[in-house]
Structures are given as structure tokens and as C-alpha cells.
Structure 1
Amino acid sequence: MTLNLQSILHEAKEMEQEIVNFRRIFHENPELGLEEHVTSDKVMEELKQLNLDEVIKIGTKESVIEELSLLNETIKDTHGPTGVLGVIKGQAGPGPTVLLRADMDALVVNESTDEDHIPYSKGFSSKNDRVMHACGHDAHTAMLLGAAKILSKFKDKLSGTIKFIFQPDEERGCGAKIMCKEGIMEDVDAVFGIHVWKTVDSGKVMIHQGPTMASVDNFWININGGGGHSSSPHETKDPILASSEMVNSIYRMHDRELNSVNASLVTVEQIESKADWGVIPSSAQLRGTIRTFSESDRNYIIKRMTDLCNVTSQFHNLECSFESLNVFPPLNNNREMAILAQDTVSDLLGEEKIETGDPIMSGEDFSYYLKESPGAFIFLGNYNEDKGIIHPHHNPKFDIDEDILHKGTALYISLALKFLNNQ
């Protein structure tokens, strides 16, 4: 059989029910990041039945502990290496290497038990209390598994190497970092990822040339003064007043000092301070997020927030410290790879299925792969009002239009082949 785009779509359609079944198995058994043991074992089991050159677990207990420690996370016995790598080496001749990525982790969400929620009414909703696939990673894993199964049948027709990475812990931002540190990107010439997306109509595909998703930094501002009686504020160093002024200063700095043409965002998400009636507290903490699409804007915001802390400390005669943690770098699609992806979608599904859109303020750890090799991150539309699939990501009623799954599988395959054949 010839490996052209229409035959690929036909092959994916032929195994549609198997891909749907994979998705339902993963949906029913969701696991949190770096605890995806059942999921990765299932992926390993399926890949080992194929004509692949390599199927291995990726990561070590030490690398997992190292990344979680950076986030001050409690290390659990269930945390461990759960990444899975499959490799096909084409037999038709040498060529470049392309990597296809899917993420496997779920979220701390209680899945809906409403009868109009399809996974519940059809009997494949989450078996695990307060854990749910509410972002589509079950679909990504199923689609890529389908792609590996189809491509393994045509190994003799492939020139070059295709890697399949089933990655843990995207939500917390540790997974891709661990995969990269383990060396999976060392020989990769291009990398592609797909995410089902809430705001794009089912079956359409959104691709950005350039800025795609924002960097994410979490920040903490700790303010320590000297508390006292509420009736005698002149005898205290009031962290509440300092906190209020700090919030206003942050927003004023962002709105007046950064070029509004370049999208960025600073949000104070929480102000925490505890005291009883009649007491001015001794301390307060501000927590929030910084989102940008450029490293220069990100660096400027962090520097200026540090400056504002120093000014606040001097003006109010108290201690004010700033800390930040970079969770994701900005995700910027390589323009050449984005154009290749658009051409692929046009040839596979039709030019009318391509959408463009504004960059997205959410973050994604796929950005770590793009720091290593050129590539593109692509959004497969999942919004279907007729089926009631209208709920946003991370919502208890989030669901997948299963009619798009075989198209996602075909898109993974086509992206790999388009890149290998163009080199």
C-alpha cells in the first residue's frame, strides 16, 4: 500500500474504534503527573506488540525527585519515572529524525456525574476520586498510540527515524524537562505536538506561525513588618498597607512601562495575611502569575517587580522579598515548521479546515522541546455544540468529540511523513 495522505486517513478511519477504545481506557483510569503507572504500562504493552526498534521507559527516580523538589512539592512513594519512548527506524534508507509527542497526565478534578455528561452516561468516567482527564491528554495518548500502530506497518517504506514520546506531568511542567534532560532530543531534527482545543470547532485545526502560548512564572512576594494593635498603627509596620500599594504598583508598572503591542499579563491571584480582631498582622504574602511571549518582557517584569519590592521595603521600613519560578518558557512555533503543518492539514483535511488565531495566554511544557529543535504545536478543534461538547478545559464536564480522534492520528502520521519526505 502506498503511503499517501488519503491512504493514511483511510488507515486511521479503519482503526477508529480501537483509538476510541484506547481513549476510554485512559479516561477511565486517570493518573496525576509522575504517577501515570497504569497509563504508561498500557502504552508499553501496546508498543511492544508492534514492529518498533526500541520501546523503553524514560526518566529516573532521581530526576523526578529533583524536579519536584524545585517546586517544593511533597515527594510521594507513587512518584516515579513514567515516560515512554518508542522508536521506528525506517528501512527505506537513512534520513532525519522527527519526534511526535503526547502527554499522559490528568488533573485534580472531580468528574461530573450528570446524566448529560457522556463519559458518565456511557460508563467510562473516572474510577479515581478527584482525578480526571479534563484537558484531553487521554485523547492525545490514544491518537499517538494509533499513529505508532499504523506507522509500524510501513517501516519498510520509511526513510529516517520517527520517535514517539508519551510524556508525563505536563500540567505541573516537570515532564518535558525530565524528557529533555534524559536526552531524547539529542538527535531530533523536528518535533510536533497536538492538543485538542476548546475554542476551535470540531475537526478544524489552528496553527500559529511564531508566538503560540505564553511563558508562565509563578511569583511570591513576602512582606514582613512588625504587627501591633489596630488602634495604634503608628507603632507598627503595616504589611496590609504595603501589600495594597504593592498590588497597585505592579499593575501600574505593567500597564505603563511595557509596550501594549506585545501581549503580556501580571495577575496577583492571592493576598494572604492572618490576624485576629484588633490586630495588625506581622506579615503578608502575595502570590500570582506572570505571562509573556518574549524573554525580554519576562526579564523586564521580574526585574521591575524586584525593584518595587525594594522600594516598598524602604518606604514602609519593613522587609519585602520577591521570588519567582519559571514553569514554562514561551512556546513559539518555528515558522517553517508551522507552514509545513499548515500544508499538511490542507492536503489531509482541506484548506478550509485551517484556522488562525491569537496567541494563547495558557502555558505548555512543549516549549521545552522547541528550545531544543524546530517544530510546531498544533490545536485540533474539539468544540461541538450539537453534541454538548462545549465545556472548557479543566472543567468537570470537559469531554472529547471522539469523531476527531482518527483525524488526530492521521495528522500525527502526516506531519512526520511530510517532514521526512521534504528533507
Structure 2
Amino acid sequence: MLQEMIKTRRFFHTIPEPAWLEFQTTVELINRLKDMGYAVEYGKSIHGGPRMGFPSEETINAHKDQMKIDAGFNISQILDGYTGAIVKLDTGQPGPTIGLRFDIDANDLLENNESGHRPVDEGFVSTNPKAMHACAHDGHMTIGLFVAKWLMENRKDLKGRYIIAFQPAEEGARGALSMVNTHHFDNIDYFLGMHLGINLPSGKIGVGSVGIFATSKIDVELNGRSAHAGVNPEDGKNALLAASSAILNLHTLPQISKGMSRLNVGVAQGGSGRNVVPGNASFKMEVRGEEDEIVEYLIKRTNEVVEGAAKQYGVDFKVQEVGSGQAIKVHDEEFYDEIDKLLKSKGYDTVRNNNFNASEDVTYFMNKVSEDGGKSIHLLIGSDLKAGHHNDKFDFNEEDMLIAYNIITTTIEYLQDK
């Protein structure tokens, strides 16, 4: 089985597609799931909106133009950005409803093309110069497909109902909310989320992740008035200075006693020439917090800081949230201990309360399940990495996909009898 998983992972590694542009990826997933016997749900039926951080029409059309997809079914809604897929399996036997989610999008990153990088040496490097699977989502999809296959093949021996989400747009925390805002994830009894790598080596399993930060991804635009910088600078309204003032002041904000917080402005642009008072400027930023309340506070203060800078320089402004993720609202320690005990009994080397120290919008699924009275858990599958996540030399130990598969199927077998 491992060699089949490796072959599948390497195929998906060659066709990475960023958030909301996972056209070929979605079609490939659907066809493989149909071949297993699933009635696959896709397109508008699996999205309730908002599709946060949605690409421009120009970006979507450019990606469409480079695609040559012979799907064998109508993919018009997929090509409009309704990407991802959902499959369900009802065994017909009394038992719990168990949900799983696997993310499918890639990073906006040019993959390293040098010898010594395994995808280069072994012929499965990205064929998309604008994207790369640098966060193991190619591995996550592979695990999800093989778990789906196992469920279908063993359905006569299983109990209850199963739902698997292949979620688009995890990068930037954009896709989960749109899927959760549907009827598909109501009344789930148990939910499993997972991630390969992060901060654990191969052989270690993190049970009950903590430190999954709430987050908000924010785009800011400032619009003033351009003018000749020598002849009549007084006629200009300098949007770049307003942006600079806002950025400097924003970085004084993360001092909050309620828990850990983060703020980063990662992109800033403005101006058109050295002799022109810049009439337009923009920047992209994010905030993170250990609790949702921290992020809400940072969003509020971001708006205030940007508004203050805009007033100072007499420019207009727009603040837009383009991605979001929640903190885990319910840490069910009793359930975590139960799964930890199960995995230890099967010989796994587990670590409790492993710190994730990043954001992951799988928390929308987890919190929805908790609100409905179910139980959820996030697992980290340790993996030796060639370079860190989101690095152009990222690669993981492919053998850990089989470990993840075995852990998930073992956990399902246990939970179905509860």
C-alpha cells in the first residue's frame, strides 16, 4: 500500500494549485472517489460562503486558460472557484457519525529546481511555476483518499455514518468556513483533523493539539491624491506615508495579557515614481491570537490605527478581512486522553498537548462539532522534513502517510463501537 500512496502523493505534487484554483486537483479527486463507488458532492452544493480571499476574475481566467481537463462530467461550477469535494458513507448499521477533513490547496511558491531536492531528482517536481505543495497537503489528500477507499471496502463490517471533506483554500485560512456554513456537517458525533510534520519528527504522534491560533488575514488599501513632488507637492495626499505610519503603529499592538498574540505586515506596496507624491498604497497583514477574543481585539485596533493614519494624511481607506480561523473552543481532555490511551496501546509513541504554534482553519469544523454536542480532536503525525513548511525545498518522509492512515482507521474502528 505504501508504494501506491507514494505514487498518488507524487502525482498530486506535480499539479499544485493555490486557494480556490484547485480545478485539476478537484476533478482528479472526484474521479478517483467515483471509481471507489462514492456519489461525490461538489460545486455550489458544498459551499455556503463566504469564499474568503477569493482571487480576481483575471487570476481565475488565467488559470482556466492553462488547464486542459477532460473530466467526463460538468465542471463549470468548479471552474468558477467552487472547488473541493465531499463524500458520505452510510453503513446502514446503528452507530456514530464520524467526520474527517483533508486540505487540498498548494502554496503560492516557486518550487526549488536544484539537484538534491527529491522531487527534482526523482521526477515529481511541480509543473506549475506559480505554486508548490510546501505544506504536505499532497500527503493529506493521499491519506484522505486511502481512508475513503478503506471505508468503502470495509463498509459491511463498519457501523454508523461517515463524511469526508476535501477542503480547498486552507492556506490563508479561507476555505473551511464556506464548507462549514452548509448542512453537511450538522450533528457529527466525532471529528478527526490531522496534519503531517509541523514540529514533530517521524515516529511521534501529537494527540490533542494545542496552540492553534485564531487568526484574521487583512488587506488594507489607502487612496489619496498624486501630485508632482517638485512643482506642487501640496496638492498631493500621500497614501504611502499614511500606510507607513499605520504599519509602524500596528507593530506596537501585540501586548495582550490574555494570551499569546502575533501581528505581521508581510507585504506593502505604494507609489508610481520617485517624483510623484504617491496617491495609492496597500499592505497585507495578519493577526493571530491564542483566543478568539485576542484576534477580535487586534482587528478592532487595526481598524482604529488605519483610520487614524488615514485622517492624519487626509486619505481614504479600506480594511478587508480575506481569511479567518478560530481557536479551538473546547479542549476535551477526557476524549484526548481516551485516544491517547488507544494509540499507546497500539504501540504508537504519543505526545499530549503538542503545541501547534500556527493557525489552521480546521478549527471551524471542530468548533461546529463541539457546538452540536460532538467531540473533536486534532492529531499531528510527526514527519522528518527536508526543510520547513512553506519553504521551496519542503519535503516530508513519505512513510508517515501510511502511519497516518493506520492511526485514522484504528481510531475509526474504536469510535464506531462507542
2:417 to 412, 418, 421: 421
Correspondence 1:36 to 2:22 = yes
Do the aligned partners of residues 203 and 331 (structure 1) sit closer, same or farther apart at CA in structure 2, a change above 3 Å counting? farther
Q: How far off is 1:409 after superposition?
A: 0.5
Q: How far off is 1:312 after superposition?
A: 3.5
Distance 1:129 1:268 in 2: 25
Q: Kindly report the root-mean-square deviation, in angstroms, between the aligned alpha carbons of the 2 structures.
A: 3.2
Correspondence 1:253 to 2:253 = yes
Residue 206 of structure 2: aligned partner: 206
Residue 302 of structure 2: aligned partner: 305
Do the aligned partners of residues 80 and 243 (structure 1) sit closer, same or farther apart at CA in structure 2, a change above 3 Å counting? closer
Amino acid at match of 2:161: T
Unmatched 5+ stretches in structure 1: 1-14, 384-388
1:347 to 345, 348, 353: 345
Do the aligned partners of residues 284 and 366 (structure 1) sit closer, same or farther apart at CA in structure 2, a change above 3 Å counting? same
Structure 1 contact 173–328 (Cα < 8 Å) conserved:
yes
Do the aligned partners of residues 306 and 46 (structure 1) sit closer, same or farther apart at CA in structure 2, a change above 3 Å counting? closer
Amino acid at match of 2:26: S
Do the aligned partners of residues 185 and 25 (structure 1) sit closer, same or farther apart at CA in structure 2, a change above 3 Å counting? same
Distance 1:274 1:370 in 2: 43
Residue 107 of structure 1: aligned partner: 107
Q: Secondary structure at the match of 2:160?
A: strand
TM-score (normalizing by structure 2):
0.81
Amino acid at match of 1:347: S
TM-score (normalizing by structure 1):
0.81
Do the aligned partners of residues 299 and 73 (structure 1) sit closer, same or farther apart at CA in structure 2, a change above 3 Å counting? farther
Q: Secondary structure at the match of 2:340?
A: helix
The Cα offsets for residues 128-161 of structure 1, whole Å up to 9 and x where unpaired, read as: 4433222111111111222222233332332211
Distance 2:417 2:45 in 1: 38
Amino acid at match of 1:407: I
Amino acid at match of 2:394: F
Q: How far off is 1:112 after superposition?
A: 2.7
Greater shift after overlay, 212-221 or 394-403?
212-221
Distance 1:225 1:252 in 2: 28
Distance 1:299 1:65 in 2: 20
The Cα offsets for residues 142-200 of structure 1, whole Å up to 9 and x where unpaired, read as: 11222222233332332211222222232254432332234220232222121112421
Do the aligned partners of residues 80 and 250 (structure 1) sit closer, same or farther apart at CA in structure 2, a change above 3 Å counting? closer
Residue 33 of structure 2: aligned partner: 47
Residue 288 of structure 1: aligned partner: 285
Structure 2 contact 209–356 (Cα < 8 Å) conserved:
no
Greater shift after overlay, 204-213 or 297-306?
204-213
Q: Secondary structure at the match of 1:254?
A: coil
**Structure 1 residues 144-163: aligned runs within 5 Å:** 144-163=144-163
Residue 381 of structure 2: aligned partner: 380
The Cα offsets for residues 72-118 of structure 1, whole Å up to 9 and x where unpaired, read as: 56443444444232323235x31220111112222333333323222
Greater shift after overlay, 28-37 or 118-127?
28-37
Q: How far off is 1:262 after superposition?
A: 0.8
Unmatched 5+ stretches in structure 2: 65-78, 371-375
Q: Secondary structure at the match of 1:421?
A: coil
Do the aligned partners of residues 95 and 222 (structure 1) sit closer, same or farther apart at CA in structure 2, a change above 3 Å counting? same
Q: How far off is 1:373 after superposition?
A: 0.7
Structure 1 contact 111–132 (Cα < 8 Å) conserved:
yes
2:41 to 38, 57, 60: 57
The Cα offsets for residues 317-356 of structure 1, whole Å up to 9 and x where unpaired, read as: 6135351305122241742254444334323343x33254
Question: Identical aligned pairs, as a percentage?
Answer: 23
Do the aligned partners of residues 312 and 373 (structure 1) sit closer, same or farther apart at CA in structure 2, a change above 3 Å counting? same
The Cα offsets for residues 226-284 of structure 1, whole Å up to 9 and x where unpaired, read as: 756469877765545544433333223333xx22x511112222333315445443443
2:267 to 265, 270, 274: 270
Greater shift after overlay, 185-194 or 206-215?
206-215
Q: How far off is 1:368 after superposition?
A: 2.1
The Cα offsets for residues 179-223 of structure 1, whole Å up to 9 and x where unpaired, read as: 223422023222212111242101212234554233132131525
Residue 137 of structure 2: aligned partner: 137
Distance 2:185 2:45 in 1: 20
Structure 1 contact 196–379 (Cα < 8 Å) conserved:
yes
Q: How far off is 1:18 after superposition?
A: 2.0
Residue 85 of structure 1: aligned partner: 86
Structure 1 contact 98–161 (Cα < 8 Å) conserved:
yes
Do the aligned partners of residues 142 and 62 (structure 1) sit closer, same or farther apart at CA in structure 2, a change above 3 Å counting? closer
Distance 1:73 1:200 in 2: 39
Structure 2 contact 16–105 (Cα < 8 Å) conserved:
yes
Distance 2:405 2:46 in 1: 33
Residue 71 of structure 2: aligned partner: none
Structure 1 contact 44–55 (Cα < 8 Å) conserved:
no
Count of residue pairs brought into register by the alignment: 394
Distance 2:283 2:345 in 1: 50
Q: Secondary structure at the match of 2:302?
A: helix
